[in-house]
Every structure is written in structure tokens, then in C-alpha cells.
Chains A and B, each alone.
Chain A
Amino acid sequence: MERAVPLVVPLGQTEVFQALQRLHMTIFSQSVSPCGKFLAAGNNYGQIAIFSLSAALSSEAKEESKKPVVTFQAHDGPVYSMVSTDRHLLSAGDGEVKAWLWAEMLKKGCKELWRRQPPYRTSLEVPEINALLLVPKENSLILAGGDCQLHTMDLETGTFTRVLRGHTDYIHCLALRERSPEVLSGGEDGAVRLWDLRTAKEVQTIEVYKHEECSRPHNGRWIGCLATDSDWMVCGGGPALTLWHLRSSTPTTVFPIRAPQKHVTFYQDLVLTAAGNSCRVDVFTNLGYRAFSLSF
């Protein structure tokens, strides 16, 4: 998530400013293009940069090919989340979803295809969007963030169809259960909620921080990352990273990682995690055994 590039000595006003901007940059989101050749990355200044993966990975890659092909100002606030459909790149952050055409984005001065804002209750602050999730079966997009609700948007018509209410604080992350049409959401209130998309009802609630084996009160109760493979779920954040059996909603394994977790993924029967403030990617098997760590 962080990046500091050593530079040639910057001296002028603009160079210093750019160096400082780079130093304090956070990359919140990334998405690979449908063709697999480009990577889009969104940072905290609301910029999206497109990198050419094919050029950077080729054998004659130079220093320049690791620089972005295009950088453009996409949002006013940070770009918290991005997903790619087969033609579009969807980015969200400061309360709006914007769609960009992958085909046009590599040209300079590209403009968004459309922008949508979920129906918010009026408030002093526009709530942010922390997570986007594509549901391919019904061709819809689920947005969740600062207003503690999940909004479903039909990608065909661009209208907001459903609102799922239940969280008491803002939502950090979303995950889709492939087999049954259910969505998991984890939030600042410390609860993981399961939603049935057919009935638009809350099916199940797991309040992670209430389970003694994984609660860490000094870190808070928020759930920062979430992953599922339909039967099992891994979630972490303030509470320790824990493997849950969804049907019985019991924690089965607590993974021994101290720092609050920022990202977690399932890969077959392995759990891959990337801690927020460390340089390691830990790989676990399902039994809580740390197989190995990938390090920068």
C-alpha cells in the first residue's frame, strides 16, 4: 500500500512538491484490465494511473516502462475501490461511482463514461464508498461505505435497485459467496453480516469481537478484510485474523498475526494475507499453520 521512490535530487519548488506528494501517497485500489495487459491503480489524491504490465514485464523493460502510461485525476477524494468489467473500469471513493472505458483510457484527456451517486440521506459530509463488488450472475454492482448501507446498482440500466440496511457503522469490505447468492459485508461496527440477494434480507450476523478467542480490544472491533469460499470465511482487522465455519458460525482457527490485517485472499485451500504495516505476505494452510511468508 505504500511506496517511496528514491529520486534524483529535487530542488525547485515543483520538484519538491512532487517528491513530497509521492512520499505521502497511498495506493488504495488496483484493478487489472480485462485483457490482462494493463493495471490501474488509484491513490489517495484521487488520481488513477495506468501501468502497462506487458511492457514492465518484458525482457527489455527499462526504467521508463515502469512509469505509468497515463495518469489522470479521477476523483476529488481518494480512490478507495476499483473493479473491472469486461469493458469498463469502475472506480469509487468520494461518494460517486465513475465508469471509464478501458479502450479509451490510454488516450490522454479521457473523460468518464458515466457517473452515479447512490441515494444518500442528506448529511454534512458525503459518505465515501469503501468497497465495490461485482455480482456477475445478475449483472449488478454492490457498493458499500460511509452510509452503513449496501446499495445494489443494475449495470444494465444504471439504476439503484436495492438498499440493504443493518450495519451500525461504516462498511469496510464486501465478499461474494459464489455458490449461493449471498454477500458478506464487514464493517467498523465489528460485525460480519450475510445478506441474501434474492430476498434482500439479512440472513446471519457474526459479531466477531464478542468471541473471546479472537477479540483484541486494544485494536478496536472493526473488520477490515474479508474473504470467503462459500463454506469458510476469513476475516480480520481489529480482532485477530480468524477462520470461520459459516454454516455453524463458529471460529475454527485463529491465525497468529499481531498487526491489524488489511488484506486477505483465499487460494484453493490456502489463505494468503497481506498485513497493513509490514512487508510480508503470509501464506497459511487452513489449519492455522503458517506455511511460509512472502517478503518484499
Chain B
Amino acid sequence: MSSESGKKRKPKVIRSDGAPAEGKRNRSDTEQEGKYYSEEAEVDLRDPGRDYELYKYTCQELQRLMAEIQDLKSRGGKDVAIEIEERRIQSCVHFMTLKKLNRLAHIRLKKGRDQTHEAKQKVDAYHLQLQNLLYEVMHLQKEITKCLEFKSKHEEIDLVSLEEFYKEAPPDISKAEVTMGDPHQQTLARLDWELEQRKRLAEKYRECLSNKEKILKEIEVKKEYLSSLQPRLNSIMQGLAVLPRLECSGTIWAHCNLRLPGSSNSSASASRVAGIIVTQAALELLASSDPPASASQSAGTTGMSQGTLAASLPVQEYLFMPFDQAHKQYETARHLPPPLYVLFVQATAYGQACAHMKSSQPPRQDKTLSVAIEGSVDEAKALFKPPEDSQDDESDSDAEEEQTTKRRRPTLGVQLDDKRKEMLKRHPLSVMLDLKCKDDSVLHLTFYYLMNLNIMTVKAKVTTATELITPISAGDLLSPDSVLSCLYPGDHGKKTPNPANQYQFDKVGILTLSDYVLELGHPYLWVQKLGGLHFPKEQPQQTVIADHSLSASHMETTMKLLKTRVQSRLALHKQFASLEHGIVPVTSDCQYLFPAKVVSHLVKWVTIAHEDYMELHFTKDIVDAGLAGDTNLYYMALIERGTAKLQAAVVLNPGYSSIPPIFQLCLNWKGEKTNSNDDNIRAMEGEVNVCYKELCGPWPSHQLLTNQLQRLCVLLDVYLETESHDDSVEGPKEFPQEKMCLRLFRGPSRMKPFKYNHPQGFFSHR
């Protein structure tokens, strides 16, 4: 009953105490939150100590109330019931408070448990982490001990000593300034040096091995040679045995080794020597300075030496000593007539000099110039042996014949024919010159000597490494008739260079030599000069002698000219093939001369005859200026763009590309325009003809012709695009202006901007 009494008194306390709580609850109610939740939140706000105090106080109040109720009940009475009721209500309030406190205590307990659980989990995690870390520490310790125990392999390598290293190693490996202070870097550098050295040694080792292999092979080959020599030697011995009056029993070696070209005396005496040891034989040979003895024998032994020659040929072949071949050539050369002999000697010398020069730079085997003699030696000998006699004979017989024929034969024609043939007779021997160019094309030159006219002629032929597709328009380019024409200015090779010949021709009724040129070859002036023949113009009757110095002074320039001639012809040949298909081949190193877009294009490229060119109405200026000789080649090009057609007549000098091709233009567009009625056409001609040096491209300017054609296409573009538009004509312009021009016209002549400026790509006036 004490609790009842507590209950009854409690409300005051609660009210005084719970007023703020009540207010809060109200507020939380207004915030529409659940009661339970708010109670939970309330737990955080309330102090547990005070709750405990409240609990204690409530219990005491309850006890007091209970006691009072008991008191009252025991007293009994009427108003007791009311009092008891009041106390009961009070104690009920206290019970409520207790209940609330109980709930709060529950919540607190739960929270406490949760916290404990959380903390426990955390502790567990920390524990695990600790375990891991401990394990890691242990592992690292193990590693450290392992590393400490590590021993590098380089310590086993035996390095060169420090002083030696700094002395020998190159500075980029030793790097003294870095490595001196840092023992680690030093060791690294030393190891590098060691590696370098070992690599080198390995390389050397490999080289030595291959060398050894090679030498072994060579030895093998030589052994084979030696073994196969035995039967050959036997055959030579047999050959020698046949020779009478020769006590040659020993080695033929001396003979072979000491046979120098042109030393027939020594060979004769060598064959006389009966030495066994080579050196001895040589010494004896040198010692045998009794010319009368050898001379007396040489007469008898020349025939035999020929025999030994033949027999020793294989030996020479095997020993790679082509003395005999060279000697044979020299032997034949003796039978050459003087001009051809001069040519032969000079050409050979030049060829050898060239070969030497070449070999000093890159190792090249092929000779650029090779010389050979063709024709039958016997005929030459027959001609040469009794020089006076035969000539006398000829002249005698000629005279006789003349007399006899005059008597006997009335037909003069046949006789004159014979005489002409005699007059134009060639020496049976001729010199072949093969000039090799860089692209493996070869110029074959055959030089002849006309004995009675005392002039030299040449026939030429060009062979190429690859088979050429012959364009129709390139017909004359490589023909033997024209390929060498005008090598030097004005040297057509049609007239005889020897003024004396004219008198001879008059006698036999030959008008000019040009009728016979195809058969005989061309008597160019440079050919005479190569042969050392010099024909002065002032004194026609002066006797002409073959002169070495004249030939030598002309050899180099002529050979160079010949080479460039062949190369430029071959280049033209190739270009013509694509020109005929309407393509202007522009090489990449000439691309900068032209804008990227060129609309005008080549349509036709044909060769035309000289006469046709002369008859064209727009080429009169060139003909008048004497630039259209009959030795030139003539072409017609047609360039088109839309309705505009540009005809270009081209004169190609045989001296292309040092002498530029000449263009004459005729434009068919809104009437016919040529240089005589349109200044701009004239300017276009000037652009390609006079300013050709800009178009040459890289040396030796083989691109000139194609560049000029491409330039014409560009010029036509500019011409058409800048043509002022006639306002009275309806419709758009036929050629819209695409090229970038600074100004359309300039100067009193109202020139169009024909000059192309390369990197910027605009056109301006020259």
C-alpha cells in the first residue's frame, strides 16, 4: 500500500520533472514520428543516473503511499474511501513511471549489448590485423636475411685491374669522373668493358674461323690445279721435245713467268736457257746480255717461240696471266694503220686509266671502256709487209690498167666504178670500242680507216640492258645514222674532213661522200681527232700525220660526250613511249616546278618530217633564224583543254639536252593565235624556249623535254583561265579561274602571270 501512496504523490514530481519531456514529445508528435522511436531517442537524452534517482524516489513514494493506504484502511471511515482512491491514483501514476523506466532500462540494456558486440567485433578485426602484420614482419625478416646472404656472380669474374681498366677502356665506358668516387658505378663500368672486350674477341674468333675455312678451300683449289697441271706440263714437254736445236729440258716456268709483252728477245733467250730452278733460270736470263748471240738465234727461233706460245696457253689460262691475249692484241695492233693505231693506244690507255680511277673509289669489276681489234690480220699483213712494193704495184697496175683499159675497154662507167671502190677502200682491220654506261647500256663504236682518202669513219650501235619498247616517234633516236650526229656543234659527219679528198673525188666523179656514208660510216671530225688526224683548213694539201697528242687531248671530252649522248638518247626513248600515250612523265625531283593541278593535257605526240616543219605557217621565225637544220629531229605535240587546242612544233637538236628543244605554238581557240598576233603566245614560247634553264631539273637534265611539255600545259591553263571574259557573251566562262594570280595583267604588253612560285603556289609576272 505504500506504493499506492507513492503513486499519489508522484504526479507532482513527474510534472515538474517531465514537463520538458512532455514538450519534447509533443514536438516529436508534431513531427509525426513513432512513439517507440521517440522513446528510443529519448534514451539518449536522459541521464541514467537521474533515472536511477527517479526510480529510487518513485519506489519510496510507492512504499509510502502503500503504507498510507494501509494506514487508512486500517483506520477505516467514510472519507477514507476517497482518500484511498486518491492515493491509488497517485500510486498508479508512480507505476506508470516505473513502467516507463523499465522500458528505458530495457532499451538501454539492448543498446549496451549492441555496443559491446560491436566493440568485440572490432577487437577481433584488430587482432587479425595484428596477426597479419606479425606474419609480414617475419617474412620480411626472412627476406632480409636471404638478401644479406646473396652473393653476386660478378665476383667470380676475373676483371682487369683498375689501373689497366682506366688506361685502356674508352672514356664513354670508363666515365672516370662518375666511377672514380662510386665503387658501384665503377664495378658496372668495368663489367661493361669486360663484356665489350669479350664480344670483340668472339667476333675475332669467328673471323678467324671463316678465314681458316677460306684458306682451306683455296688450298684445296690450288691443290687441284697443281694436280691437273701435271698432264699439261707433260704435253708441253712433249711439244718442246719436238723443237729441234733446243736443249730445253727443264722447266717451262721461267718462260711463262718472264714472258713480258713485246719482249720477244727475252723469250727467245729464255727458251734457250736450260735451267732447272726457276730463280736460276731468271738470273741467267738477266745475265745473258749477249745481244749478238740472242739476235743470231732469235731469227731462227721466232717460229718456235710461236709454238711454245701455243703450248703454254693453257698454263697462262690456269695461272690467270693473260699476257698472251694482250700480247696478241698488241701484235695485231702493229698491223693497224697509224691513225687506228693511235686511236687504239689512246683508247686503251684511257680505258685503263679510267679503270684505275674507278677501282680506287668503289671496287668495280666491269670496265667502262673496252677496246678490241677486228678484221683479218692476214689481209692487213699482205697490205703492210711490202709497203713500197705494193703501193708501187698498185699505182703501176693502176697506170697500166688505165692504159690498158683505155685501149681495150670503151666502157668508162665500169672502170670508174672500180676506181671509186678502190678509192673508198677500207683498211681490213678496224677498232671496236665498247662504251658502257651506268645503266648497262652499251655504245658500240667501230672505227674504220679509209686508206686512200686518209680519213677515219665510225659506225655506231646502241644496245641496252633491257629490251626497249620502241615508240613510233622515237624511230630515229637510236638509229646508227643519227645517234652521234652533232656531237660537237656543226659536226654532221656528212662531208669529208680532209680537204684533199675533194680533188680525189673530182677525179673519179664522186660528188659528195654523203652518198656512201651509210656503207662506210660517218667521217665525223672528232673521229679524225681521236685518230690524231688534224686537217687544217688553210692548207689543203698539207700532209697529215697521225699525232698522239691530238688524240690524247680529245679522248676524255669525247668519251664523256659520247656517254652523255647515249644516256640522253635513252632517256628520250623512254620518255617518248609515255608521251605517245598522252602522259607527260614528271619525276618527283621536278615536281616543284609545277602546280599540283594541271588540267591541260597532252593528246598527241608524233614525229614529223623536216619538210613538213618548214611548211608550217607558225614556224617561220625559227626557220628564218636558221635554227631548223635538216639534222634536227622534228615533232608535233598537241595539248588540249576543253575546246582549246594548242599545237606545238618542236625542234629537237641532236645535241639535246645541252641544246634545248625549241617550241613554236599555235593556239586554236576563238580563232587562231600565234606569236605574230598574240603577245601572250609569244611570251609562252619565250617561257619554254628562253627560260629553259629553270626546267632542266637535276643534272644531267634529261627531264628537260618533258618538263617543257608539262610547263606548256601549265601555261595553257594560265592563258585560258586569265582570258578576260567578254561580257556580251551569255553563259558562264568556259575556264573558271582556279590558279592563284597576284594580278591578271601587267605592263604595257598586258602579259599574263606565267611565272610559277613554288612553295606558295601562286602565279606572278616575270
Contacts and interface: CB of A to CB of B under 8 A. Distances in A.
A19 B626 contact: yes
A28 B748 contact: yes
A125 B746 CA distance: 11
A224 interface: yes
B701 to A, nearest CB: 12
Interface string B471-501: 0000000000000001001100000000000
B309 interface: no
Interface stretch (B143-151, B334-342, B654-662): B654-662
Given A19-B626, A125-B742, A277-B677, A224 B748 contact: yes
A223 to B, nearest CB: 11
Contacts of B686: 24
A13 B679 CA distance: 26
A139 to B, nearest CB: 26
Given A28-B749, A130-B747, A224-B748, A20 B689 contact: yes
B625 A6 contact: yes
A16 B660 contact: yes
Interface stretch (A83-91, A214-222, A249-257): A214-222
Contacts of B727: 217
A146 B751 CA distance: 13
A19 B765 contact: no
Interface in B703-737: 724, 726-728
Contacts of A218: 726, 728
B5 interface: no
How big is chain A's contact interface, by range?
35 or more
A24 B765 contact: no
B676 interface: yes
B192 interface: no
Contacts of B625: 4-7, 10, 19, 22-23
Nearest to A4: B621
Given A125-B764, A217-B727, A222 B747 contact: no
A35 interface: no
B688 to A, nearest CB: 10
A167 to B, nearest CB: 14
Contacts of A17: 660, 690
B159 interface: no
Contacts of B742: 124-125
A21 interface: yes
A24 B690 contact: yes
A9 B660 contact: no
Contacts of B682: 2, 24, 26
Interface string B615-645: 0000001101111010000000000000000
A12 B227 CA distance: 65
A220 B724 contact: yes
B743 interface: yes
B551 to A, nearest CB: 23
A182 interface: no
B55 interface: no
A20 B724 CA distance: 29
A7 B621 CA distance: 11
A172 interface: yes
A20 B748 contact: no
A103 interface: no
Contacts of A21: 690
Contact of B743 (A130, A146, A172, A277): A146
A16 B653 contact: yes
A9 B625 CA distance: 7
B750 interface: yes
Contacts of A220: 724
Interface in B674-697: 676-679, 682-683, 685-686, 689-690
Interface in A276-293: 276-277
B75 interface: no
A170 interface: yes
Interface in B580-624: 621-622, 624
A246 to B, nearest CB: 23
Which of A8, A16, A21, A173 has the largest number of chain B CB atoms within 10 A? A16
A146 B753 CA distance: 14
Interface string A216-252: 0110101010000000000000000000000000000
Contacts of B766: 77
Contact of B627 (A5, A16, A124): A16
B745 interface: yes
Nearest to A260: B750
Given A13-B659, A125-B742, A125-B765, A4 B624 contact: yes
A9 B629 contact: yes
A277 B676 contact: yes
Nearest to B629: A9
Interface of A: 1-2, 4-13, 15-17, 19-24, 26, 28, 77-78, 80, 124-125, 128, 130, 146, 170, 172-173, 188, 217-218, 220, 222, 224, 262, 276-277
Interface of B: 486, 489-490, 621-622, 624-627, 629, 653, 655, 658-660, 662, 676-679, 682-683, 685-686, 689-690, 724, 726-728, 742-743, 745-750, 762, 764-766
Closest 6 CB pairs of A and B: A24-B686, A11-B489, A12-B489, A9-B626, A11-B490, A218-B726
14 contacts: A15-B489, A16-B653, A19-B627, A24-B686, A26-B679, A26-B749, A80-B747, A128-B746, A170-B743, A217-B726, A218-B726, A218-B728, A220-B724, A277-B678
